[in-house]
Structures are given as structure tokens and as C-alpha cells.
Amino acid sequence: MHARSTISYFVKLLVCLTFVTYAAAHNTPVKAVAVLTGTSGVSGTVYFQQDKPHSKVKITGTIQGLTANAKRGFHVHTFGDLSGGCNSTGTHFNPFNQTHGGPNDPVRHVGDLGNVQTDNNGTATLNFEDWFISLRGHLSVVGRGLVVHAGTDDFGKGGQSDSLTTGHAGARLACGIIGKHKIFYSAHKLTPAQILYTARTL
């Protein structure tokens, strides 16, 4: 009888640990970072954070060395491959095979983040949110390329031959790979005493 009780207790403990692990993995904020470099003096660091599954992604950071007082195209590209420079990142991340659009358009590439706006010094300060991209699941942008362009993204409405594919945003000035931030998890963790208490009450 005692052995059966002990087994039952450990089964409950295992269930509790499984639940806690699952909850932490699905409710923990996920953070990523991309360090942008290029051959034209453009550089920057961009951070991504998604607090919960299916929630919007907050994008912050700075990009320096751009043309002053200008809008420059800013996109997530398919591949996190910099072996051939920014061209190795491929096309805009477009898992649903849509045409190019602006960040607020219902039809767009997932990677269409629009333009960044520079100040008098050619620095763009980023602080916005996007609902299309994700840092989780098989459609995550983690591991993909991030590119800033030489021209302004026309959101697919400019009538150019490449408006519906690239937004006519021009050459790729700088790029980086979106990687997991070293502080990847920051969820509240149950103490061993709390886990044992929960198991006893199951």
C-alpha cells in the first residue's frame, strides 16, 4: 500500500512538472536580436520581443549611416545566409505566397515591415509593433535575414516592375541574421517547494 501511494505521488509530481514546463514554454516572452552590417557604412542593432504566442512582436533598435531625413525599406528575408553578403538572404519572407504590401495592408509578405525613418544624422530609431511576424513556431523569423535597403518601399503601389515583389526598395545596404537573444526566457519559475505543494494537492 505504501509503495502504491509513493508511485501515485511521483506520478502526480511528474504531471505537475510537465504542466509547469509546458506553461513556461508557451507563456514566456521570446526575444531575438539582429546585428546589421554592410559595405556602405550602415550598421545597427534591432531587437524583437513577443510576449505570448500569437501576440504582436515589438521591434526596437537603431540603424546608423543612412541618408538623412529619408525613408528606407526594411524587411525580413527568407534565409539567414550571409555567405554572399546581403544577396544571400533571398527574397522577402513570404510563406503564404502573397504579393508585396505595406505593414498595415491585409495582403503582404510576412516579412514586409515597411520603411524606417531617419533623422538629421541619418539614424533611424525603431519602436513599433507588427502582427504578421512571429518569433515562435514553424513560421518564426528567428534564423532568417533582416535587410535595410537603399530606397523607399512603395508598399506595392508605385507601379514599378518590382513594386509587387520588392516594393522597389532598391539595393541592400546592410543585413544581419535574426538570432535568439541570450536572455531568451524570463518567465516566473516555481520553486521546488511550490512544485511539491502543487503535487500534494492534485
- Domain boundary assignment for the chain: 2-27+187-201, 30-180
pLDDT tens string 112-147 = 999 999 999 999 999 999 999 999 998 999 999 999
Tell me what pLDDT residue 8 has: 53
Catalytic hit among 72, 81, 108, 109: 109
pLDDT tens string 19-38 = 444 444 556 899 999 999 99
Model-level pTM?
0.80
Tell me what pLDDT residue 45 has: 99
CB-neighbour burial class of residue 6 (10 A; exposed 0-12, middle 13-18, buried 19+): exposed
Residues of the chain with pLDDT under 50: 11-24, 185-188, 190, 194-195, 197-199, 201-202
Catalytic status, residue 172: yes
CATH fold of 30-180 reads: Immunoglobulin-like (2.60.40)
Q: What is the overall mean pLDDT for the chain?
A: 86
Catalytic hit among 92, 108, 144, 168: 92
For residue 176, count other CB atoms closer than 10 A to its CB: 23
Catalytic hit among 72, 108, 144, 149: 149
Catalytic status, residue 77: yes
